[in-house]
Chain A
């Protein structure tokens, strides 16, 4: 019987939070060079444009310019309402992105479905892909977006993004099973 790894246990969290100097340096680099892929489906796109424009200037924080190929990006911004019909497309875009990757749900529709409660709207994009940071608001203010970006950068530095945690988990399982063998 290997180690039981549950993300909710405190001692595991402490073990996972331990980073080598190399990891710290890598994550420091990652957090200041986010390449975002804007998956813009609805009116939140206007607010995304304003936050990416010169006045609020997302580039100040290292998320310099959006890449329109998922293979060149590591931050998926789901901006706007996602329908059930779009589900396979979102999942495919996410699967094509290079590891490690992060997801921001921009606006209430992408976070929870918002005021839609019907046959066609997905109740939050986290039904299909793991989301790191949720931004409420309809649409969110640019300050909220910047706040979320800083939150995400914090999370990347400490290695707590979804894909980073999954990597760590797989490493721990592998090392535990090799210890036994």
Chain B
């Protein structure tokens, strides 16, 4: 559907594009993170692109991702970086869309913020930071958006324990002399 967007992107910023793919009428381009800002600025301002509508920003945690039915391919390998940050963009004028993905290693989950280009990404990047701990350089106000400041860790990372609770308050009126249970005698 928008293969011409991918072709134009590769023609204009061939060095920045890692690889591209098309799946289910969605066009995806993997961008190197040090050139993300240049690519995004071009996508927003170029007359043939005009991506004026930011759709979403999120992240994917690929820890222990091993598809059972597929051999190693361009989509995954043993040394695949742990995180992927995805931005979905849409152009209301040209009616095309593109998803740009940036792969980030576990040790350094950091990339330039796009909140300056599309203000709607401000809160979405805060949410991504809140849930996955991805740092967005140059974000105007990067702090937790859903969870409380006392929260430790990033709950949507796949290694966050499911049962772990971080309560803010608990009851203080529980019985002072609780039920005393005599130990059972075994015969």
Whether B171 and A117, one on each chain, are in contact in the complex, defined by CB atoms closer than 8 angstroms, is no
Whether A85 and B148, one on each chain, are in contact in the complex, defined by CB atoms closer than 8 angstroms, is yes
Considering only CB atoms and an 8 Å cut-off, how many residues of chain B contact the other chain?
A: 19
Whether B171 and A123, one on each chain, are in contact in the complex, defined by CB atoms closer than 8 angstroms, is no
Interface size of A as a range: 20 to 34
Assembled-state Cα–Cα distance A130/B171 (Å): 8
Give chain B nearest CB distance to A117 CB in angstroms.
7
B residues 155-172 touching A (CB-CB < 8 Å)? 155, 160, 162-171
Q: CB-CB contacts of A114-145 with B at 8 A, as 1s and 0s? A: 00011110110011111000000000000000
Q: Using Cβ atoms and an 8 Å threshold, which residues of chain B touch A128?
A: 169-171
A117, closest chain B residue (CB) = B162
Tell me which of B146, B147, B163, B170 contacts A127 (CB under 8 A).
Answer: B170
Whether A7 and B168, one on each chain, are in contact in the complex, defined by CB atoms closer than 8 angstroms, is no
Whether A123 and B169, one on each chain, are in contact in the complex, defined by CB atoms closer than 8 angstroms, is no
B183 within 8 A of A: no
Give chain A nearest CB distance to B90 CB in angstroms.
30
A91 within 8 A of B: yes
Give chain B nearest CB distance to A123 CB in angstroms.
7
B73 within 8 A of A: no
Assembled-state Cα–Cα distance A8/B165 (Å): 30
Q: Using Cβ atoms and an 8 Å threshold, which residues of chain B touch A127?
A: 167, 170-171
Assembled-state Cα–Cα distance A8/B175 (Å): 11
Tell me which of B146, B167, B175 contacts A122 (CB under 8 A).
Answer: B167
Q: Using Cβ atoms and an 8 Å threshold, which residues of chain B touch A118?
A: 155, 162
Query: Which residues of A pack against B, CB within 8 Å?
Result: 4-8, 84-85, 87-88, 91, 117-120, 122-123, 126-130, 166
Q: In the complex, given contacts A88-B168, A120-B155, A122-B167, what are 7 additional A-B residue pairs having Cβ atoms less than 8 angstroms apart?
A: A8-B179, A84-B166, A117-B163, A119-B164, A119-B166, A127-B167, A128-B169
Query: Which residues of B pack against A, CB within 8 Å?
Result: 146-148, 155, 160, 162-171, 173, 175, 177, 179
The 6 A-B residue pairs with the shortest CB-CB distance in the complex, in nearest-first order: A119-B155, A87-B169, A87-B168, A8-B179, A85-B148, A91-B169
In the complex, 17 of the A-B residue pairs with CB atoms within 8 angstroms, ordered by the A residue number, are: A4-B177, A5-B177, A7-B175, A8-B179, A84-B165, A84-B166, A84-B167, A84-B168, A85-B147, A85-B168, A91-B169, A118-B155, A119-B165, A119-B166, A120-B146, A127-B171, A128-B169
